[in-house]
Amino acid sequence: MKVLAAMSGGVDSAVAAALAKEAGHDVVGVHMALSKNRDQTRSGSRGCCTVEDASDARRAADHIGIPYYVWDLSDDFHDLVVKDFLAEYAAGRTPNPCVRCNERIKFEALMDRARLLGFDAVCTGHYAVIGTDGPDGAPSLHRSANDAKDQSYVLAVMGPEGLKRAMFPLGRFADKAEVRAEADRRGLGVGHKPDSYDICFIADGDTRGFLQRSLGEAPGEIVTPEGEVLGEHRGTHNFTIGQRKGIGLQQPAQDGRPRYVLDVKPDTRQVVVGAAELLSTRTLEAADLIPFEDLEVGRRVQAQIRAHGAATGAVVTAVDSERITVDLDEPIRGVAPGQTLVLYDGDRVLASATLDRRA
Amino acid sequence: MVNNRTYLDHSATTALRPAARDALVDAAGALGNPTSVHTSGRRVRGILDDALQEIAQQLGVPRSWLIMTSGGTEADNLALRGAAHLGPVFGLATDHPAVVQTVQALNGRLLPVHRDGTMDLTALETALDQARSDGAPASLVSAALVNNETGVVQDLSAIAGLAHRYGAAVHTDAVQATGHVQLPDFDTVDLMSLSGHKIGAPVGVGVLVAQPDVKLAAVGTGGGQQRGIRSGTLDAAHAASFAAALRETLADAAAEQARLGSLAERLRAGIRAIDADAVFTAEDSPHAPHIVHVQFPGAVQDAVLFVLDQAGVDCSAGSACSSGVTQASHVLEAMGFEESLMRGAIRFSFGWTSSEQDVDAVLQALPDALERGRAMGRLFA
């Protein structure tokens, strides 16, 4: 197969590219330039967006012995990921830009370009396993052998169609140390770079500051669920459902218990705060359903709403071609519209969807 | 290292000439600093002086006018920064970043071009006139003889006629011109930059030819070598190598220009046969024989370059930044081309190792490259 290896400059994608080559594929390395004004050198843990990262990717490609190119996807990234991120916050939702990037950039914009240039598949350093036991032989998606690194949550949005042209050679590694050893064994001199966790386009890691700078100020009221005004804020986009810190109220609650953000209402510029138990929900409703197999009402599943969160036992209570509702065994906190809901059966991904309202 | 590629990017860098390699290797082993007074030093000084003598002779200037540099970029900087203390410096908007960025850093002025790529002489005169009325007459007008992306040739006589009338010196970046078009005489220009690796010497050597009448200030300080304008130990081996490359380049320049011109014509004819929509940039302007700059409407240059590279053909989009991302061409922008055309711009450039087989190899790979490049273009339309 002719395989395009997306190379960020980090250890994971370098090892993935090497494994694809060693598996006998015809591999070409591509580094995506996602930012227009890139810093020359890396700072902190961000792992893909500087000229230094591009240079590391190039060195890795040289070592592996594959051609290497830089593709400028910065316009797509800005339009489809950064702008979407801001629009979602402005609309009072809590987006996951990594899910968005996988959906629209890596496995759409990059994949489209790759296909036009004659590639059969895109290979990345993601931690997840692509199986072959979906309905009618369609690809299935499973958690990686390494629980701590599992990225099936942010990949589920690809759906079975997207997986047909994807390769994740690292999914079978149970331990990050193994991957680093594979890197060292091949002389890929990127083995000791820190992992990246933060949002790549917010260089200083200050998401609130980024939102404030980008969206400006839109003052409004902080209210109780009953509508009592407790104070003011500088913009609803500064708040996420479930947030406790930085709400900015001078007066403590009368009962002395901590307050949480319960709801964000951009229309009325209100932020609703209240006690923790009001934050809990047992029902998740989601739209834009991407199923890996048919899901019927009554099906036992596990529901996950955060990239690094645990999955909670649940049962499907309503489902059609676009929407799905599940009831959770235990109530969970901090459920916000815009978050990605991924349903599992054990290690196997059943569906991805986007939470759109709290019941 | 054996190069089995179809290399049509000689404007980026050309193949090392065997004579230049031999001169480099022979001289690199000589021990001694050319400014030392002892015998070893004098021996190396001898190698250096022979080289400078050769270069000076080839260019028809006294040896003392030569300032050896690390390359074209440094030569341009020495000229522009060195003249800035005498008054504002003017450059041409389509010139190499070594000039454009330096003019901007010096708060100088960039002059516009016509759509055919030649300097707008009316704008030049207006700017010179205005600077004089403002009490800060221009010290220097810089214009590349041959544009590095499009190959357009500037009329240096006309530019110099105006500049000199207003008391400004004239600098030309002749990096792309050497061997490919007639170099100007030093009544026309006062300063001229040349680069080694565009004529078959190694990367790392260039020359600024500087008439002593232009009182250049030193950009850096040090031991005061080379008239104090460019301090630092003189590099006899690179100078010798440059001299050898220049000698060969100029020796058969006329025949080589004709040869490269016919290769370029063969390529243009082949491209026309493949793609009736192809637009040859500044086809009717005076241009150097070794560059074929063509815009393929609707195609994405990255994709075209990718497919050509995979097919064994090296060429370029004109300018790439250090990180490897193709950037919109400031040259085409200054010439007034629209985005959709610029996005499909490709530069093929020939050199002393180029052959008809190279042209045929490109023409064989081009249809697939254009088909995919246009499919990519439609994807983003």
Cross-chain residue pair A113–B303, CB shorter than 8 Å: yes
List of chain A residues whose C-beta atoms are within 8 Å of the C-beta of residue B323:
33, 38, 51, 54-55, 70
Which tens digit of pLDDT belongs to each residue from A146-184?
888 999 999 999 999 999 999 999 999 988 889 989 999
For residue B286, tell me if it sits in a domain: yes
The pLDDT of residue B339: 83
**Comparing C-alpha atoms, which of A354, A350, A355, A334 is closest to residue A300?**
A350
Q: Are residues A151 and A29 in the same domain?
A: yes
The pLDDT of residue B81: 98
Q: Which of B310, B325, B379 sits opposite A33 (nearest CB)?
A: B325
> SS3 for A357?
strand
User: Which range marks the domain in which residue A241 is found?
Assistant: 217-275
Question: Best mutation site among B305, B323, B327, B368 for testing chain A: the one with the most A CBs within 10 Å?
Answer: B323
Q: What residues of chain A, 106 to 125, have a C-beta less than 8 Å from chain B?
A: 112-113, 116-118
Q: Are residues B218 and B306 in the same domain?
A: no
For residue A249, tell me if it sits in a domain: yes
Cross-chain residue pair A70–B325, CB shorter than 8 Å: yes
Instruction: Grade residue A201 by pLDDT with cuts at 50, 70 and 90.
Output: confident
- pTM of the full structure: 0.87
List of chain B residues whose C-beta atoms are within 8 Å of the C-beta of residue A3:
none
Q: Would an 8 Å CB–CB cutoff place A78 in contact with chain B?
A: no
Which tens digit of pLDDT belongs to each residue from A82-112?
999 999 999 888 888 988 898 899 889 999 9
Instruction: Grade residue B168 by pLDDT with cuts at 50, 70 and 90.
Output: very high
Q: Are residues A264 and A159 in the same domain?
A: no
Which of A48, A49, A101, A123 is flagged as catalytic? Answer: A101
Statement: residue A193 has pLDDT above 80 = no
The residue that leads in pLDDT, B217 or A218, is: B217
- In this prediction, residues A200-204 reach a mean pLDDT of 79
In percent, the amount of chain A with pLDDT more than 90 equals: 55
Q: Are residues A76 and A6 in the same domain?
A: yes
List of chain A residues whose C-beta atoms are within 8 Å of the C-beta of residue B307:
117
Q: Are residues A247 and A353 in the same domain?
A: no
For residue B352, tell me if it sits in a domain: yes
Question: Mind giving me the DSSP string for A38-68?
Answer: --SS--TT--SSSHHHHHHHHHHHHHHT--E
The pLDDT of residue A217: 86
A101 a catalytic residue:
yes
The mean pLDDT of chain A is 89
Statement: residue A192 has pLDDT above 70 = no
The pLDDT of residue A44: 54
Question: Best mutation site among B5, B306, B372, B374 for testing chain A: the one with the most A CBs within 10 Å?
Answer: B306
For residue B325, tell me if it sits in a domain: yes
For residue B309, tell me if it sits in a domain: yes
Cross-chain residue pair B325–A55, CB shorter than 8 Å: no
Q: Would an 8 Å CB–CB cutoff place A294 in contact with chain B?
A: no
Instruction: Grade residue A80 by pLDDT with cuts at 50, 70 and 90.
Output: very high
Q: Are residues A134 and A109 in the same domain?
A: yes
Interatomic CA distance for residues B81 and A292, integer angstroms: 65
Statement: residue B62 has pLDDT above 50 = yes
Out of A172-176, A189-193, B31-35, B114-118, pick the least confident.
A189-193
Q: Are residues B214 and B355 in the same domain?
A: no
A122 is in an annotated binding site: no
CATH number at residue A142: 3.40.50.620
A125 is in an annotated binding site: yes
Which tens digit of pLDDT belongs to each residue from B298-337?
999 999 999 999 999 999 987 655 556 667 889 999 999 9
**Comparing C-alpha atoms, which of B4, B11, B16, B14 is closest to residue B313?**
B4
For residue A203, tell me if it sits in a domain: no
DSSP bridge partners of A291: A351
Out of A278-287, A319-328, B117-126, B348-357, pick the least confident.
A278-287
CATH number at residue A313: 2.40.30.10
With tokens 């050679």, the residue in question is A169
Within 10 Å of residue B280's Cβ, how many Cβ atoms? 16
**Chain B residue with Cα closest to A28:** B310
Cross-chain residue pair B302–A72, CB shorter than 8 Å: yes
For residue A193, tell me if it sits in a domain: no
For residue A191, tell me if it sits in a domain: no
At residue B15, what is the residue type?
A
Q: Are residues B153 and B261 in the same domain?
A: no
Q: Where are the alpha helices (DSSP H) in A2-150?
A: 11-22, 51-64, 74-77, 83-90, 97-101, 110-116
List of chain A residues whose C-beta atoms are within 8 Å of the C-beta of residue B324:
31, 54, 58, 69-70
Q: Are residues B168 and B288 in the same domain?
A: no
The residue that leads in pLDDT, A235 or B145, is: B145
Chosen domain end from B221, B251, B281: B251
Q: Are residues B116 and B192 in the same domain?
A: yes
Cross-chain residue pair B325–A117, CB shorter than 8 Å: no
- In this prediction, residues A114-132 reach a mean pLDDT of 95
Whether the CA torsion A80, A86, A87, A89 is positive or negative: it is positive
Q: Which of B306, B324, B325 sits opposite A117 (nearest CB)?
A: B306
| Residue B100, token pair as written in the block | 């454009």
Instruction: Grade residue A195 by pLDDT with cuts at 50, 70 and 90.
Output: low
Query: Which H helix or E strand runs over A301?
Result: strand A300-304
The pLDDT of residue A238: 86
A98 a catalytic residue:
no
For residue A164, give Cα distances in angstroms to A123, A132, B153, B370.
11, 10, 53, 27
A8 is in an annotated binding site: yes
List of chain A residues whose C-beta atoms are within 8 Å of the C-beta of residue B368:
none
List of chain B residues whose C-beta atoms are within 8 Å of the C-beta of residue A58:
324
Out of A294-298, B244-248, B376-380, pick the least confident.
B376-380
Q: Which of A28, A55, A72 sits opposite B325 (nearest CB)?
A: A72
For residue B89, tell me if it sits in a domain: yes
Chosen domain end from A275, A295, A324: A275
In percent, the amount of chain A with pLDDT more than 70 equals: 93
Q: Are residues B362 and B300 in the same domain?
A: yes
List of chain A residues whose C-beta atoms are within 8 Å of the C-beta of residue B310:
28, 67
Which tens digit of pLDDT belongs to each residue from B254-295?
999 999 999 999 999 999 999 999 999 988 999 999 999 999
- In this prediction, residues A256-285 reach a mean pLDDT of 89
Q: Are residues A86 and A156 in the same domain?
A: yes
The mean pLDDT of chain B is 95
Q: Would an 8 Å CB–CB cutoff place B325 in contact with chain A?
A: yes
Q: Are residues B226 and B284 in the same domain?
A: no
Q: Are residues B67 and B180 in the same domain?
A: yes
Cross-chain residue pair B310–A116, CB shorter than 8 Å: no
Q: Are residues A234 and A284 in the same domain?
A: no
List of chain B residues whose C-beta atoms are within 8 Å of the C-beta of residue A72:
302, 325-326
Chosen domain end from A259, A275, A291: A275
For residue B260, tell me if it sits in a domain: yes
Q: Are residues A151 and A265 in the same domain?
A: no
Domain count, chain B: 2
**Comparing C-alpha atoms, which of B150, B142, B240 is closest to residue B193?**
B142
Q: What residues of chain B, 289 to 308, have a C-beta less than 8 Å from chain A?
A: 302-303, 306-307
For residue A120, tell me if it sits in a domain: yes
Cross-chain residue pair B375–A116, CB shorter than 8 Å: yes
Domain count, chain A: 3
Q: Are residues B141 and B68 in the same domain?
A: yes
Q: Are residues A263 and A347 in the same domain?
A: no
List Cβ neighbours of A345 (8 Å cut-off, separation of 6 or more): A300, A301, A302
Cross-chain residue pair B322–A51, CB shorter than 8 Å: yes
For residue A84, tell me if it sits in a domain: yes
Q: Are residues B175 and B100 in the same domain?
A: yes
For residue A163, tell me if it sits in a domain: yes
Out of A331-335, B59-63, B97-101, B354-358, pick the least confident.
A331-335
Instruction: Grade residue A359 by pLDDT with cuts at 50, 70 and 90.
Output: very low
Q: Would an 8 Å CB–CB cutoff place A55 in contact with chain B?
A: yes
Q: Are residues A86 and A231 in the same domain?
A: no
For residue A199, tell me if it sits in a domain: no
**Residues B302-312: b if buried by 16+ CB within 10 A, e if exposed:** bbbbbbbbbee
With tokens 């591009």, the residue in question is A54
User: Which range marks the domain in which residue B51 is found?
Assistant: 18-251
List Cβ neighbours of A21 (8 Å cut-off, separation of 6 or more): A27, A64, A65, A66
Nearest Cα of chain A lies from the Cα of B344 at a distance, in angstroms, of: 15
Within 10 Å of residue A67's Cβ, how many Cβ atoms? 14
> SS3 for B65?
helix
CATH number at residue B224: 3.40.640.10
For residue B1, tell me if it sits in a domain: no
Instruction: Grade residue B123 by pLDDT with cuts at 50, 70 and 90.
Output: very high
CATH number at residue A245: 2.30.30.280
Statement: residue B346 has pLDDT above 80 = yes
The pLDDT of residue A45: 46
Q: Are residues B40 and B130 in the same domain?
A: yes
Statement: residue B238 has pLDDT above 50 = yes
Interatomic CA distance for residues B367 and B274, integer angstroms: 7
The pLDDT of residue A93: 87
Interatomic CA distance for residues B131 and B134, integer angstroms: 5
Chosen domain end from B235, B251, B267: B251
Q: Are residues B204 and B340 in the same domain?
A: no
Which of B1, B31, B255, B321 is flagged as catalytic? Answer: B321
Statement: residue A198 has pLDDT above 80 = no
Q: Are residues A113 and A225 in the same domain?
A: no
Q: Which of A54, A69, A113 sits opposite B376 (nearest CB)?
A: A113
Interatomic CA distance for residues B22 and B29, integer angstroms: 11
Chosen domain end from A248, A275, A302: A275
Chosen domain end from B189, B224, B251: B251
Q: Are residues A12 and A90 in the same domain?
A: yes
For residue B81, tell me if it sits in a domain: yes
- In this prediction, residues A118-130 reach a mean pLDDT of 96
**Residues B51-82: b if buried by 16+ CB within 10 A, e if exposed:** bbebbbebbebeeebbbbbbbbbbbbbbbbbb
